[in-house]
Amino acid sequence: MERNLKNRKVILGLSGGVDSAVAAVLLKEAGADVQALHMTNWEDEDGYCTAAEDLQDARNVCEQLQIPLHHVNFAKQYRDRVFEYFLDEYRAGRTPNPDVLCNREIKFGVFRDYAKRLGGELLATGHYARTAVVADQPVLLKAADLNKDQSYFLHAVSADALAETVFPLGDLQKDEVRRIARDYGLAVHDKKDSTGICFIGERPFREFLSKYLPANPGPIRTPDGREVGQHHGLMYYTLGQRQGLGIGGRHDSSDAPWYVVDKRIDDNALIVDQGDTDLLLSESLVATNPSWIGVAPAALAEGYRCMSKIRYRQEDQACTVENAADDTLLVRFDTAQRAAAPGQFVVFYAADHCLGGAVIDQIRPVITHDNEVQMASIR
């Protein structure tokens, strides 16, 4: 942490996990006046959510470290600002990423506002990311631990919010974080990292989504129109998906795995292809609603060269980004990308500097003679 935190009042988002617990340790060691704020974003009566356990773990950490704990319920704001968007995207046949919206709207939105009402000068979280000031402007940087870097999920956070944020874990490796937790005797030192979407928890995804959106089964077809099975509803599938299709071992097909290559909303058909299919490759995409941290790159008019990711943990991919229309970007990749999914985010980087990102809206497939014929049959 490069900031001088001595005697500064910092409100820490304390989830009950090991990362935010160690963030509390590091803030105290830096001399900050630390107070913790635990938020409840989802109220679940099905027993899958670990909210009660997480709150108790947060209480135990605060008691051990002797820091005050506040608890606030943002369930209504989460439903209005994140969950409704999540459902709308699935209704449209897309694959949303609610974690990006949760960071922008909740953790660095209403949470930030609440922290200020508590008198906080700065906000802190257990995210693996870093901030810096370049030319008097706050910037978002990748974490030192690239395996845990969470800048992808933070790309839509405003520069103003980043200017008031501390990421104590940004310079640490994950194993160092767990070691610090063990050294302090924190009970959460070996607590399992949370994965997946917070409000779904460990329950089957199909079971959860069916509570909110009616299933609409339909045919599974090959690119040439042959019906090979029935799907449970297009909302349950994403481009590139291999598992859970239920069409393996057909006598009229090879043993090569099947992949989802398109979701055809008009006639409710799931399109699949076998093996190393070119139909999942895209040479470019159209992205909408860009979020830039600070100002947009000046070279967007003629084409801006940078790196990008179309999914979390992907290696950086070289691309050219340009303005296509109002709030619309055209992204051309140097190397064709596999299974880019509408509704997900493309995030842009210059070295370790996260510039921002946008919502993937349309995929432009690689055109070869063979798959041009196949794509024509799909459409």
49 is a catalytic site residue:
no
Residue 362: strand, helix, or coil = strand
9, two tokens: 């009042």
Could you give the CA distance from residue 306 to residue 294 in angstroms, rounded to a whole number?
16
Please count the other Cβ atoms lying within 10 Å of the Cβ belonging to residue 166. Answer: 24
28, two tokens: 């105290």
Could you give the CA distance from residue 166 to residue 186 in angstroms, rounded to a whole number?
22
Strands 69-73 and 33-40, bridge-based pairing:
parallel
The answer to whether the beta carbons of residues 36 and 148 sit under 8 Å apart is no
> Exactly one of 102, 306, 319, 354 is catalytic; which is it?
102
Could you give the CA distance from residue 13 to residue 112 in angstroms, rounded to a whole number?
10
108, two tokens: 């660095």
> Cα–Cα distances in Å, from 356 out to 35, 123, 170, 283, 360?
30, 20, 18, 21, 13
> Exactly one of 49, 62, 198, 306 is catalytic; which is it?
198
Residue 283 has phi, psi (to 5 degrees) of: -90, -20
> Cα–Cα distances in Å, from 181 out to 18, 38, 268?
7, 19, 50
The answer to whether the beta carbons of residues 356 and 348 sit under 8 Å apart is yes
The answer to whether the beta carbons of residues 209 and 363 sit under 8 Å apart is no
Residue 354: strand, helix, or coil = strand
Residue 317: which H helix or E strand, with range?
A: strand 317-325
198 is a catalytic site residue:
yes
The one-letter amino acid code at 281 reads: L
Q: What residues are labeled active site?
A: 102, 198
